Structure 1
Amino acid sequence: MLSDVLGLTPEEADAYRTLVSVSSATPAELAELVGHNARQVVRILSRLEGRGLAARSLGDTTRFVASPPAAALRALLVQRQNELNLAEIELDSLDETYRAATLGRGVAEVVDVIHGTEAVRERVGHIQLGARKEVMNFAKAPFFSPGNTTDDAVIERGIRYRVIIESSLFDGEGPSFGEIAHAQASGEEVRIAETVPLKLFIVDRELAIVPLLGSASATKAGALLVHQSSLLDALIALFESEWEKATQFATSAGDVQNAPAIDDLDAQVLSLSLTGLTDQAIATQLRVSLRTVQRRIRHLMDIARVHNRMQLGFHAARAGWLGAEQKGGGTTPRLRAVPPAPATTARRSAG
């Protein structure tokens, strides 16, 4: 923590903590306590002395004492806070300059081209880390991910993260059922669609990246970077439209309402079945046998008193099992969000 927040090296932070715990120490004594050689500790003590964290003992100048943490570290903390405040002011100024420049963009400047798979991954990671409010994502085969660490960092900052996953990703190329369930439990909003129209990341409704990563070689792959424009507005509208049509994801019996005798596995089978997955794909995702999946679907049809899966879907919506919402003349199934659970790094579902 000292090294991260106050700019000390790990060796300096370790030496200071050790010096705080003793009345005083010579460089040789401190070296023995921290496990470094005496010459290295002499250099560390010199740096700590320069930062006001250590001083020579008045009674014996060969010995060093730690400066009081409350006073010494508070001064460093205030200095770091001032630096961060100045950096924030500079960031706001640069952001205003950037926004003013984007208003004057011509048609040719609305869309930039990013070349190469790694360049796309890096840019996607950067714009997500810079998000202030929200990230929207279409996850579509072939699978592409900017990295779990990036997604985790975004979620931990309280940024809303919505992703629609194409059901074909469950066929083995993309994230597993368990990974998506954990991602949803840690704060990500996940819905499933039979298909999504394209790969897409939208950040703060101000910038979008459309990865063009197909079967071509990595050097020929790329992406479109879309700035604020009517094109970006159209991409946002497309995402919101698909979000309304996509199906949420049940992982426990508590997510299914008004349905007696349904357990967690029934809820999971129902959830995946309504996304269009085959019985074998469902069995693979849930790590159960094909016979078990078929038996569970038969059980759900018996509860609903229907004869086929289409009737099961209509009954589930009509009976409110999935929190259905009426849309005009039709009914679109909706599953309630999964209750909170320990966070994970399962958000590799990025498209």
Structure 2
Amino acid sequence: MLGAIGLDEGQESAYRALVALGAAEVPDLAHRLTLPVPQTERALRHLERHGLAARSSARPGRWVAAPPGVALGALLTRQRHELEQAELAAVLLAEKYRAEAAEPAVHDLVEVVTGASAVAHRFRQLRLGATEEVCALVTGGPRAVTGSDDQAEERAAVRGVAYRVVLEREVLTQPGGIREAGAALARGELIRVTDRVPTKLVIADRSLAMLPLTPRGAEPAALVVHASGLLEALRGLFEASWREALPLILGSTGCAEEGAGGPDAVDLEILTLLLAGMTDASVAKHLELGLRTVQRRVKGLMELAGVTTRLQLGWQAYRRGWVAR
């Protein structure tokens, strides 16, 4: 089970035994493992080099196991980082190969990827390989192409990769939808919302796109499109959707009137969710409030702003700085 982090069967057995015993001398451990003493010593020295075991300072001759949560966690983190770096290198090499090809063949302009695992892997490669901007259309259906990967997106933000995302409004009503959108906004991503998105789509650096190829219920498959007239058409589709969508606003910038008759934190949360296009019932469910409580608070906000319609309330909320622009 621990072979993925470089341990063979004997080394893993030695570590598991140390974890169970707490501490042990080499002969006792060799007897428990039914291994020769020299082989047991080699296994312990290997564990020591990887930070998984150490000689006891309190009782010479005995070995103790490092805490699994710390020792194994560090090894797994290093393995993940090395794998991601290898994936990124493979993507960059592939792009360099295509860029240096004098006249790429037509079949090199598109790739067909089949299988859920292969689609997810290719999608992750595409995002890891982006250096400037990632644009995405996200629908409310199953996410065969686009999806959330906080770690990958945080690393992209650190590298200075910009994100522009158009969400179908249904996404916000799904479990965790508001939370994921809020986390994305906190990372500096630009998000807009519309009633309907034509298709799932992701475009990296304006040079590579990916979109689903099969309908719901069929085996997941996706089309990867390289620089071509088709890619230009997909870029145009994204830009058209972006222009028609409305900016998503979650959270407030604070309120100068708060504490002096202004909206409180719950009022502001209700207001920002309504501005995101959610219904009173959806807001009530998300905030775990009663529907009448939400409607009563909205009425109070309208009275506070001196307006008679919700459209006017939205305008006043922007003008008074109750929500971020």
Question: SS state of the match for residue 255, structure 1?
Answer: coil
Task: Answer yes or no: is 1:98 the counterpart of 2:94.
Answer: no
Aligned-pair distance for 1:154? 0.6
Distance in 2 (CA, whole Å) between partners of 1:292 and 1:14 is: 59
Count of residue pairs the alignment pairs up? 281
- Cα distance in structure 2, aligned partners of 1:171 and 1:269: 14
Q: Write out aligned runs for 1:82-161 (5 A).
A: 91=90, 94-101=94-101, 104-106=103-105, 109-115=108-114, 119-144=118-143, 151-159=149-157, 160=161, 161=163
Q: Which residue of 2 aligns with 1:314?
A: 315
The runs of 5 or more residues in structure 2 that have no matched partner are 19-23, 51-60, 64-78
Asked whether the equivalents of residues 316 and 322 of structure 1 are also in contact (C-alpha less than 8 Å), the reply is yes
Report the Cα distance in structure 1 between the residues aligned to 2:277 and 2:196, rounded to whole angstroms.
Answer: 10
Distance 2:180 2:288 in 1: 13
Task: Report how far residue 194 of structure 1 moved.
Answer: 3.2
In the TM superposition, residue 238 of structure 1 has moved relative to its aligned partner by 4.6
Residue pairs, 1:1-351, within 5 angstroms: 7=6, 12=11, 27-31=26-30, 37-39=33-35, 42-46=38-42, 91=90, 94-101=94-101, 104-106=103-105, 109-115=108-114, 119-144=118-143, 151-159=149-157, 160=161, 161-172=163-174, 175-185=176-186, 189-212=190-213, 214=215, 216-219=216-219, 222-236=221-235, 238-239=237-238, 242-243=241-242, 245-251=245-251, 254-255=252-253, 260=258, 261-323=262-324, 334=325
Equivalents in 2 of 1:99, 1:164: separation in Å?
29
Q: Percent identity of the aligned residues?
A: 34
Alpha carbons of 1:284 and 1:156: their partners in 2 closer, same or farther (altered >3 Å)? same
AA matched with 2:97: T
Could you say what the CA RMSD is over the residues aligned between the two structures, in angstroms? Answer: 4.6
Paired with 1:285 and 1:175, the residues of 2 have a C-alpha distance of: 9
Q: 1:232 to 1:43 in 2, by over 3 A?
A: farther
Residues 139 and 171 in structure 2, CA contact (< 8 A), matched pair in contact too? yes
Q: Distance in 2 between matches of 1:262 and 1:135?
A: 36
> Which deviations, in whole Å up to 9, do the C-alpha atoms of 1:240-287 show, x marking residues without a partner?
565564323323xx4355665122222222222123322112222222
Deviations 1:259-318 (A, max 9, x none): 651222222222221233221122222222111221222122222211111222233344
TM-score, scaled to structure 1: 0.61
- CA, structure 1 residues 90+53, in 2 after alignment: closer, same or farther (shift >3 Å)? same
SS at match of 1:224: strand
Deviations along 1:126-180, whole A, 9 cap, x unmatched?
43344445433221122315697x71331342444443321122344x6432343
Contact 1:143 1:169 (C-alpha < 8 Å) held by counterparts: no
Separation in 2 of the partners of 1:285 and 1:10? 49
AA in 2 matched with 1:316: A
Supply the distance in 2 between the matched residues of 1:176 and 1:202 (Cα, whole angstroms).
Answer: 22
1:273–1:282 Cα contact (<8 Å) kept: yes
Which has the higher relative contact order, 1 or 2, with Cα contacts under 8 A spaced 6 or more apart?
A: 1
Q: Decide whether aligned partners of structure 1 residues 26 and 168 sit closer, same or farther in structure 2, where only a CA change above 3 A counts.
A: closer
